[in-house]
């Protein structure tokens, strides 16, 4: 497959590993922001091929994982109502709320449908005028443009039966939160390539400067990841703290301007609660007042629902890179992909699920 | 189909109906499941023509099998399998071919030769009878290819909405030589692992046929009867330890089952696993892993090292085994684990599929 196979070239990957071995003179903790990157590292066994000085810290970049429990409970409450079709990306179906997950709501008779794009949800709304159709709009800056587009489309079609339950979060505020935490041990970042394809990387210069931390925009294939690590280690060894782009075939400094415009048209920055981490100021996106009629929280009056997290789950520390799944007493015992206690065990991008699938025992 | 055959010529019309009832020869209605004349007609006119054989011709609720004297020393193999698939027809196959091949393959992985099948049909009211004809024709073709006879059957009709068009349950009977000992518990360290062709074709073909991919593809399901392949294999590799068909849960799940049953480790070389380039591309786009996607015409064969090359060549020479490959070996440590040597040269656990495979978000 073109644009993929060349980035999975074994010889090239091994040359990069050797280069990293040559330049790394001491231990470095490097965080890959995105859960997709975490899974690639493990899926290809790259973490084992890297020299032991490179400590990969797994970041908060899994939209399923950081969606707060109370929002999942809100989703479940809405999905169980008659005359509602609740649509979601597949990953969210297995995330446990405080009682149930969307799979069990479906078994109880709730109309829960997996869609691949919110635009499919708009189509469902058009075809089912006697139902309220709700889309679970989760994700980082990557999903924001298409989620916003669904609202613009619904407005243009004058659909009164479409709304979105918003849990959009943004990467830069999370990086600030991690770096300013007293427990922080991250010395460099591999920024999430897909987020940057939308947003560019101009936002990262102030972070690199303020915290003196190298940030390398990185893709998801083995050669991309190793190249990102190599560039980060090079900077660390030279005591540099720049923003570099190791994913130029997809990412530009300014990003995708039309997509940013669409995000800005529909959403505005709001405070968001991150599962396991807590509220980070202006770390997410909410619907602008002129689109509030598409806000499922208001339409279904579920804003009052509040929920407490499981006390055993250390998702928060894991998402901030403070602890690893192996430090969790529930990992692989009380908490497994079949019976997850916390979201990082559920999603295909979750750190605990990556450890469980590829590295257990 | 083995419902008692009444003498249709002797049925007496007890009086004129006014107006005359419709014949309902175009779609299934509840009356087709009544057990009365409509059921009888359905069986005689729609089902029987496809499955004519001496056993059905007995016309009883049962088929009496008189064992051949050579067969008395053989082991009996029995299995059953229910088939539900949406849509009923997909590129490369349909529910009828699936229902025959699924049961034929479950018998042949014992090393046995499948001989007789029975078929139970649960039909949703409203199913077009022409659809039923197409399914039955496909069943006949697959049964002929496998060399099995369908010797008993049953139909039930349920109200609209109580089933999804058509469900088929097939049971199968076969005979196996007592000299052959095959089973998931027999894998031994040193054995080689063969997969008989590209993985994931069936699952992706069905997904594409559902229109869920948002684009069309040329992927064909691999659904096929594999009994001839197994018989050829056992002639050259009679000491084969395990044969299993990696259906739901895919290759990864089947390998994990074998590792647990045999208390051994399995090391697989990712680079040697055959994957159709289109299946590979679809999986990349959708966030699926072909290792977990269903196959309906593939076998995992675990064979002692000394017979492995012969086994591979033999399988490659069969109709459905052209792309067979040796993909790994059995090891003693770690027991009950499957390890994957990645294309990059790293090693990781290859686990069973947990729950449903979910497409990724971004």
* Segment 175-214 of chain B within 8 Å of chain A by CB: 212, 214
| CB spacing of A49 vs B345 below 8 angstroms | yes
Task: Specify the DSSP element, H or E, that contains B119.
Answer: strand B113-124
The Cα of A182 is separated from the nearest Cα of chain B by a number of Å equal to 31
Number of domains in chain A: 2
Name the residue among A1, A143, A222 with its Cβ closest to that of B362: A143
Name the residue among A48, A139, A348 with its Cβ closest to that of B358: A348
Q: Quick one: A110 and A243 in the same domain?
A: yes
Cα B108 from chain centre: 11
Residue with tokens 């040193």: B190
The Cα of A239 is separated from the nearest Cα of chain B by a number of Å equal to 30
pLDDT higher than threshold 80 for residue A217? yes
Cα A234 from chain centre: 27
| CB spacing of A338 vs B355 below 8 angstroms | yes
- Kindly report, residue by residue over A278-326, the tens digit of the pLDDT: 889 999 999 999 999 999 999 998 888 877 777 788 888 888 888 889 8
Cα separation, A89 vs A118, whole angstroms: 8
For A8, the closest chain B residue by CA position comes to: B344
A152-175 average pLDDT score: 96
B269 touches A: beta carbon within 8 Å? no
Residues in chain A: 361
Domain extent at residue A161: 1-310
Burial of A180 (0-12, 13-18, 19+ CB in 10 A): exposed
pLDDT higher than threshold 50 for residue B7? no
Degrees to nearest 5, angle at CA B313 with B230 and B290: 70
- Kindly report, residue by residue over B85-127, the tens digit of the pLDDT: 999 999 999 999 999 999 999 999 999 999 999 999 999 999 9
List the strands of the sheet with B325-331, edge to edge: B242-244, B300-303, B192-195, B325-331, B265-269, B338-341, B347-349
Q: Quick one: A232 and A142 in the same domain?
A: yes
Cα separation, A60 vs A351, whole angstroms: 9
- Phi and psi at residue A132, to the nearest 5°: -85, 125
DSSP annotation of B71 reads G
- Kindly report, residue by residue over A184-202, the tens digit of the pLDDT: 999 999 999 999 999 999 9
| CB spacing of B361 vs A64 below 8 angstroms | yes
Tokens of A100: 């149930």
Tokens of B64: 């009496």
- Name B93's bridge partners: B90
B277 touches A: beta carbon within 8 Å? yes
A155-168 average pLDDT score: 96
Chain A residues touching residue B277 (CB < 8 angstroms) = 1
Degrees to nearest 5, angle at CA A18 with A1 and A228: 55
| CB spacing of A1 vs B362 below 8 angstroms | no
Contact B80, B100 (CB under 8 A): no
Contact A83, A73 (CB under 8 A): no
Q: Quick one: A211 and A321 in the same domain?
A: no
Q: Quick one: A85 and A109 in the same domain?
A: yes
A109-129 average pLDDT score: 94
For A50, the closest chain B residue by CA position comes to: B346
Angstrom distances, CA of residue B132 to CA of A83, A189, B94, B355: 35, 60, 11, 32
Radius of gyration of chain A (CA): 20
Three-state secondary structure call for residue A281: strand
Tokens of A33: 């922001």
A207-231 average pLDDT score: 97
Contact A122, A157 (CB under 8 A): yes
Chain A residues touching residue B358 (CB < 8 angstroms) = 90-91, 93-94, 114, 348
Q: Quick one: A24 and A105 in the same domain?
A: yes
Q: Quick one: A203 and A333 in the same domain?
A: no
Q: Architecture of domain B16-176 in CATH?
A: 2-Layer Sandwich (3.30)
Chain B residues touching residue A359 (CB < 8 angstroms) = 348-349
Q: How confident is the model at residue B355 (pLDDT cuts 50, 70, 90)?
A: low
Contact A101, A69 (CB under 8 A): no
Cα separation, A195 vs A197, whole angstroms: 5
Q: Quick one: A173 and A153 in the same domain?
A: yes
Cα separation, A27 vs A188, whole angstroms: 12
Between A141 and B360, the more confident residue is A141
For B348, the closest chain A residue by CA position comes to: A358
- Name B244's bridge partners: B300
Closest by Cα among B307, B292, B342 to B193: B307
Contact A201, A253 (CB under 8 A): yes
CATH superfamily of B192-349: PurM-like C-terminal domain (3.90.650.10)
pLDDT higher than threshold 90 for residue A98? no
Q: Quick one: A289 and A327 in the same domain?
A: no
Q: Quick one: A228 and A349 in the same domain?
A: no
Tokens of A212: 């003196």
- Kindly report, residue by residue over A8-33, the tens digit of the pLDDT: 899 999 999 999 999 999 999 999 99
The Cα of A188 is separated from the nearest Cα of chain B by a number of Å equal to 23
Poorest-confidence range of A24-38, A40-54, A61-75? Answer: A61-75
Q: Quick one: A277 and A347 in the same domain?
A: no
Contact A68, A274 (CB under 8 A): yes
Q: Quick one: A66 and A106 in the same domain?
A: yes
Residue extents of the structural domains in chain B? 16-176, 192-349
A135 touches B: beta carbon within 8 Å? no
A359 touches B: beta carbon within 8 Å? yes
Residue with tokens 């709009």: A137
- Kindly report, residue by residue over B133-157, the tens digit of the pLDDT: 999 999 999 999 999 999 999 999 9
Chain B residues touching residue A336 (CB < 8 angstroms) = 354
């Amino acid at each position: 497959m073109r644009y993929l196979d060349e980035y999975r070239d074994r010889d090239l990957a091994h040359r990069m590993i050797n280069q990293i071995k040559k330049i790394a003179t001491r231990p470095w903790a490097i965080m890959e922001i995105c859960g997709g990157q975490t899974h690639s590292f493990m899926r290809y066994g790259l973490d084992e091929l890297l020299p032991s000085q490179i400590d990969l810290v797994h970041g908060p970049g899994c939209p399923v994982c950081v969606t707060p429990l109370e929002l999942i409970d809100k989703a479940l409450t809405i999905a169980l109502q008659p005359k509602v079709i609740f649509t979601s990306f597949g990953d969210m179906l297995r995330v446990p709320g405080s009682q149930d997950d969307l799979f069990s709501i479906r078994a109880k008779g709730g109309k829960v449908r997996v869609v691949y794009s919110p635009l499919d949800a708009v189509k469902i709304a058009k075809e089912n005028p006697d139902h309220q159709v709700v889309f679970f709009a989760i994700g980082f800056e990557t999903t924001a443009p298409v989620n916003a587009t669904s609202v613009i489309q619904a407005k243009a079609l004058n659909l009164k039966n479409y709304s979105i339950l918003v849990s959009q979060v943004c990467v830069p505020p999370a990086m600030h939160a991690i770096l300013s935490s007293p427990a922080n041990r991250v010395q460099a970042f591999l920024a999430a390539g897909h987020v940057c394809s939308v947003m560019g990387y101009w936002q990262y210069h102030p972070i690199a400067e303020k915290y003196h931390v190298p940030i390398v925009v990185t893709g998801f294939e083995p050669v991309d990841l190793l190249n990102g690590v190599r560039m980060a280690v090079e900077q660390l060894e030279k005591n540099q703290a720049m923003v570099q782009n190791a994913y130029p075939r997809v990412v530009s400094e300014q990003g995708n301007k039309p997509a940013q415009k669409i995000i800005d048209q529909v959403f505005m920055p709001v405070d968001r609660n991150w599962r396991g981490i807590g509220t980070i100021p202006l770390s997410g996106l909410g619907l602008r007042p002129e689109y509030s009629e598409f806000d499922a929280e208001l339409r279904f009056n579920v804003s009052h629902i509040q929920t407490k997290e499981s006390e055993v789950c250390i998702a928060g520390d894991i998402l901030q890179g403070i602890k690893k799944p192996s430090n969790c007493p529930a990992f692989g015992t009380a908490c497994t992909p079949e019976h997850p206690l916390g979201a990082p065990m559920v999603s295909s991008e979750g750190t605990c699920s990556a450890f469980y699938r590829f590295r257990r025992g | 189909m083995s419902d008692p055959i009444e003498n249709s010529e002797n049925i007496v019309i007890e009086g004129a109906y006014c107006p005359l009832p419709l014949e309902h020869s175009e779609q299934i209605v509840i009356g087709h499941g009544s057990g009365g004349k409509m059921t009888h007609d359905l069986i005689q006119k729609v089902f029987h023509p496809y499955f004519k054989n001496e056993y059905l011709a007995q016309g009883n609720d049962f088929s009496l099998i008189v064992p051949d004297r050579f067969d008395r020393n053989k082991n009996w193999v029995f299995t059953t399998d229910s088939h539900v698939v949406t849509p009923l027809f997909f590129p490369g196959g349909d529910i009828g071919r699936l229902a025959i091949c699924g049961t034929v393959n479950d018998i042949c992985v014992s090393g046995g030769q499948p001989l007789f099948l029975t078929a139970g049909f649960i039909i949703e009211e409203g199913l077009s009878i022409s659809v039923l004809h197409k399914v039955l024709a496909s069943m006949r073709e697959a049964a002929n290819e496998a060399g099995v006879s369908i010797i008993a059957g049953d139909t039930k009709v349920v109200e609209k909405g109580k089933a999804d068009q058509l469900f088929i349950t097939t049971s199968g009977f076969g005979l196996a030589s007592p000299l052959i000992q095959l089973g998931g518990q027999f894998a031994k360290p040193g054995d080689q692992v063969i997969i008989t062709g590209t993985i994931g074709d069936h699952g992706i073909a069905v997904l594409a046929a559902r229109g869920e991919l948002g684009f069309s593809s040329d992927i064909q399901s691999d659904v096929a009867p594999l009994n001839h392949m197994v018989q050829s294999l056992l002639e050259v590799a009679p000491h084969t330890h395990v044969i299993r068909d990696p259906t739901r849960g895919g290759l990864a799940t089947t390998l994990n089952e074998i590792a647990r049953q045999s208390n051994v480790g399995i090391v697989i070389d990712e680079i040697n696993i055959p994957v159709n380039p289109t299946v590979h591309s679809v999986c990349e786009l959708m966030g699926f892993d072909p290792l977990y996607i269903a196959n309906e015409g593939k076998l995992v064969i675990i064979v002692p090292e000394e017979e492995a090359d012969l086994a591979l060549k033999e399988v490659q020479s069969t109709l459905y085994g052209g792309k067979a490959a040796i993909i790994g070996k059995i090891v003693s440590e770690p027991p009950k684990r499957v390890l994957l040597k990645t294309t990059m040269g790293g090693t990781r656990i290859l686990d069973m599929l947990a729950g449903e495979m979910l497409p990724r978000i971004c």
